[in-house]
Amino acid sequence: MKTKFLIPLIAVAALLYACKGKGGAGYEVVNNSSSADSVKSETPGSSQPKLIKTAGINFKVKNVQQTVTRVITLTESMGGMIAHQQVGSTPERTQDVRISKDSIMRITSLSTTAEITVKVPAVKLEKFIDSVASMGIYVTDRNVDITDKSLDYLSAQLKLRSRAELVSQQKRGKVVIKDPAKVLDLKDDMIDQQISNQQIDNAVKYSTVNLNFNQSNTINKELIANDDPSVYGLPFFKRLGMALGNACDLFLDLVIGLANIWLFILLATGIWLAVRYYRKKPVVKVG
């Protein structure tokens, strides 16, 4: 009776042993005799939590341009860097005042704002925020956010270790990957995970701070030329002198024109005298 139960158990064990060396992911294990060559599954040692800090401040200042200079100086002194900077003035209202015939005073109300993104060492984040806040007249909004990327970092580490071990076994001939493209995919995944963890490390080391600030509207006065051509003209006396000169020129042109047609004038005068003479001659009646 014991022999009848033992034979099926031996058959099942043999079947499991035969399937042990094959995988379903496009590769197979050639030699799995040494447990030291298997994929390591232990968890990496404990490390510092991967906390990413970001902050933002909205505030009003007396002078935007001066504050920009102070922020840049403060950032550099703390070992940070400016990632983005934008300063602009937007016209709110404009009025033109005519001060002479050809000159206009353009008066414009300007709204000046600035947007700056800085990266500062995370250990100096609070000190940086306090220093920037003291530059303003008042702060309208101030926030600090902390994101924990520890699990994402650990997940990438474990996946990277697993893929690195698989590629190592493939190089040593312990694992045969049937599709060569899968080797490239594994290596690409390893690069992506390394870059991802590097980005997390950089974000943990340097915090990002978004600064938005503005100042009260300013008035800008600009003297510009009148762009209406109809207002431009010569002074009165100069125009009068030119008119007298033009009259003389017209008279001379008339005399020259008459001189050119003197024959026609003489002929017309003769005809007119003849007609007048015959009209005045008395008519003699006969009988």
Tell me the pLDDT of the chain averaged across its residues.
79
Does 51 score more than 50 pLDDT? yes
pLDDT for residue 5: 44
Token pair 């008279």 is found at: 251
pLDDT for residue 40: 41
pLDDT band at 181 (very low <50, low <70, confident <90, very high): confident
Helix (H, G, I), strand (E, B) or coil at 219: strand
Read off the pLDDT of each residue in 27-41 and give the average, rounded to a whole number. 39
- pTM, two decimals, is 0.61
pLDDT band at 178 (very low <50, low <70, confident <90, very high): low
pLDDT for residue 48: 81
pLDDT for residue 115: 97
**H helices then E strands: how many in the chain?**
7, 8
Q: Are 57 and 141 in contact (CB under 8 A)?
A: yes
DSSP at 22: B
Which residue in 37, 42, 27 sits closest to 158, CA to CA?
42
pLDDT for residue 183: 66
Residues composing the chain: 287
Does 65 score more than 60 pLDDT? yes
Tens of pLDDT, residue by residue over 229-279, are: 776 666 777 777 778 878 888 888 888 887 888 778 888 888 888 887 777
| CA gap 21, 89 in Å, rounded | 71
Helices assigned H by DSSP within 105-234: 125-133, 150-172, 180-205
pLDDT for residue 257: 80
Does 39 score more than 80 pLDDT? no
Does 4 score more than 70 pLDDT? no
Q: Are 209 and 97 in contact (CB under 8 A)?
A: no
Q: Which of these ranges, 42-46, 52-56, 171-175, 219-223, has the smallest mean pLDDT?
A: 42-46
pLDDT for residue 276: 77
Q: Which of these ranges, 67-71, 136-140, 144-148, 263-267, has the smallest mean pLDDT?
A: 263-267
Q: Are 205 and 122 in contact (CB under 8 A)?
A: yes
pLDDT for residue 283: 55
